[in-house]
Amino acid sequence: MAALTGSAGAAGLLPSLSVPGVTELKPLSRYEAMRLGPGWSHSCHAMLYAPNPGMLFGRIPLRYAVLMQMRFDGLLGFPGGFVDRRYWSLEDGLNRVLGLGLGCVRLTEADYLCSHLTEGPHRVVAHFYARQLTLEELHTIEICAVHSRDHGLEVMGMVRVPLYTQKDRMGGLPNFLGNSFIGTAKFQLLFALKVLNMVPEEKLAEAVAATQKQKKPAAEPAAVTANVTTANVTTTTAAVTAAVTANQIVAKPANELANQPLAVSMAEPAAEPTAEPAAEAMAE
Amino acid sequence: MAALTGSAGAAGLLPSLSVPGVTELKPLSRYEAMRLGPGWSHSCHAMLYAPNPGMLFGRIPLRYAVLMQMRFDGLLGFPGGFVDRRYWSLEDGLNRVLGLGLGCVRLTEADYLCSHLTEGPHRVVAHFYARQLTLEELHTIEICAVHSRDHGLEVMGMVRVPLYTQKDRMGGLPNFLGNSFIGTAKFQLLFALKVLNMVPEEKLAEAVAATQKQKKPAAEPAAVTANVTTANVTTTTAAVTAAVTANQIVAKPANELANQPLAVSMAEPAAEPTAEPAAEAMAE
């Protein structure tokens, strides 16, 4: 982190994100950002993360726990907010906001990661911080958050970001990136995962690409998809009607229920269909 | 709830969702669902909710706290999972799964709300439960969840669903519905909000419609949108370059920062631009 802070001090040395499909934001050195005029608003957000030795389903390495939050506006974002530089340093302002929602963490200039100009009609420069914690410290922050005065108001809940990709190529980070994010949060997440070497760059690109392939049918189903779906529903409905009528049905349990409701199935009989077959991490 | 359970016992009496843009799922009575053959998988999920007298920013009625969770696969869903009916009743199976993630809630048949056939290649019938709690009970469940053994594994965090719509017509429920959901969860959320009279039907339709308008540019920006964005970025970049060079810039702080990073601003000076102006609920 210290090395990054140092290089960020000189203009133009910050790496770009370079993930196809994600709009590149203009990086600024902290020095440049601090010299912006009073017409500029400064936002400060922080990524709190911890190495996580845990394994999902006993076999998918979690690698890191990374905290984001569901905000009052229904979007995912990092803890933080605007800082009025007339009254506060960036870090004091950030800590003030974090104090409302997280209660028990203080960041310093050593946690500074990068600054970027945001898109949109307003003059906002987004400063981003990252602090590595132990998993116990991170868990304590989650507990603080659910007890904090912001809980259920500005913050609807903290969530950890899945960094793995499951075998179906969507489960985990790709699906997560398909959620809705505030302002620069998605860019900052990807940027931090890249520059802190938490996820290999090609995995980030694959995850973003998978999201974008998925998005189109979700927004407006292609004719083919819609037809197939309708056909399935019709068949299923007919089958149910038959089953209800005759109370007998010949059907094999599915072997794999990818994309079905949450299966918590470690202790279930082997014959029970579960989401597990889709839950293995892709080989990296 | 009792009345609903009663009517759900007779086939065809369950109301349809009837929200344009959301695929209608076929409702089944509990009686019908219980007579499906062994080739069918049964999933049980629960919506836990509580009347919430709180006001966001002191003026937006929260009305209810409704619990969902960020799952291991990066999708939002309700607590629950598959139930193996060879060994468990629906409710016992559901409580078994809830016990892993929430620790401290038990549902009964009186909490049963509806059953629907799911889409997709597998024969799955999704049972849905809803239980009204006090806000204190619901908060206790959130605290249980963050301490539970599933936390950070199958469940990445609990979130409350914003039921209001902010003045910008996206903040709150519309944005939330723009996130990614597992299987039938989005349908079940909308269905429960409708039949339990938690959100007026026309507000649900408006929220879904707003999401769909938004989704298209998000998935693949229209030419016009892309151009405007690019123009903004170019202007901003030029302005910053000028500012950094000359260290002076003429720019007015934005009055309204809708769609910008989280502003926690109740205690900030009035001149500080915040997200608040966009945070008023739409008149209903």
Q: Which residues of B touch A153 (CB under 8 A)?
A: 54, 56, 62
Q: How far is CA B29 from CA A183, A275, B130, in A?
A: 44, 26, 16
Alpha helices by DSSP H, listed for chain B, are: 2-8, 30-34, 90-101, 135-147, 173-177, 185-195, 201-219, 223-246
A266-275 burial: b if 16+ Cβ within 10 Å, else e = eebeeebbbb
Interchain contact, A171 vs B86, CB within 8 Å: no
pTM flag (> 0.90): no
Q: What number is the average pLDDT over the span A201-216?
A: 86
Interchain contact, B182 vs A72, CB within 8 Å: no
Interchain contact, A180 vs B182, CB within 8 Å: no
ipTM for this model: 0.77
- Reported as a single tens digit per residue, the pLDDT across B86-127 is 999 999 999 998 987 676 789 999 999 999 999 778 899 999
Residue B99's nearest CA partner among B150, B160, B153 is B150
- Reported as a single tens digit per residue, the pLDDT across A84-141 is 999 999 999 999 989 876 767 899 999 999 999 997 788 999 999 999 999 999 999 9
Strands B124-132 vs B112-117: parallel, antiparallel or unpaired: antiparallel
Of A45, A122, A263, the CB nearest to B81: A263
Q: Which residues of A touch B233 (CB under 8 A)?
A: 26, 117, 119
Name the fold adopted by B26-214: Nucleoside Triphosphate Pyrophosphohydrolase (3.90.79)
Residue A243's nearest CA partner among B125, B92, B84, B119 is B125
Residue A179's nearest CA partner among B190, B70, B184 is B70
Q: How far is CA A40 from CA A10, B53, B77, B279, in A?
A: 21, 37, 39, 21
pLDDT band at B181 (very low <50, low <70, confident <90, very high): very high
- Which residue is it, tokens 């899945």? A162
User: Cβ distance A55 to B247 under 8 Å?
Assistant: no
* Residue of A60, A72, A141, A154 to mutate for B, most B C-beta atoms under 10 A: A72
Query: Position B234: which residue type?
Result: T
Interchain contact, A171 vs B248, CB within 8 Å: no
- Reported as a single tens digit per residue, the pLDDT across A126-184 is 999 999 999 999 999 999 999 998 899 999 999 999 999 999 999 999 999 999 999 99
A151/A158 Cα distance (integer angstroms) = 9
User: What chain A residue is nearest to B84 in terms of C-alpha separation?
Assistant: A272
User: Cβ distance A136 to A48 under 8 Å?
Assistant: no
How far does the CA of residue A110 sit from the closest CA of chain B (Å)?
Answer: 22
Q: Which residues of A touch B90 (CB under 8 A)?
A: none
Strands B124-132 vs B41-56: parallel, antiparallel or unpaired: parallel
Interchain contact, B74 vs A176, CB within 8 Å: yes
H helix count then E strand count, chain A: 8, 8
* Residue of B35, B72, B161 to mutate for A, most A C-beta atoms under 10 A: B72
- Reported as a single tens digit per residue, the pLDDT across B140-164 is 999 999 999 889 999 999 999 999 9
For residue A206, pLDDT over 60 is answered with yes
User: Cβ distance B138 to B65 under 8 Å?
Assistant: yes
Cross-strand bridge partners of residue A151: A155
Residue A216 confidence (pLDDT): 53
CA angle A142, A144, A150 (to 5 degrees): 100
Q: How big is chain A by its Cα radius of gyration, in Å?
A: 22
Domain spans of chain A?
Answer: 26-214
Residue A77's nearest CA partner among B232, B264, B220 is B264
Q: Which residues of B touch A189 (CB under 8 A)?
A: none
- DSSP tag of A165: B
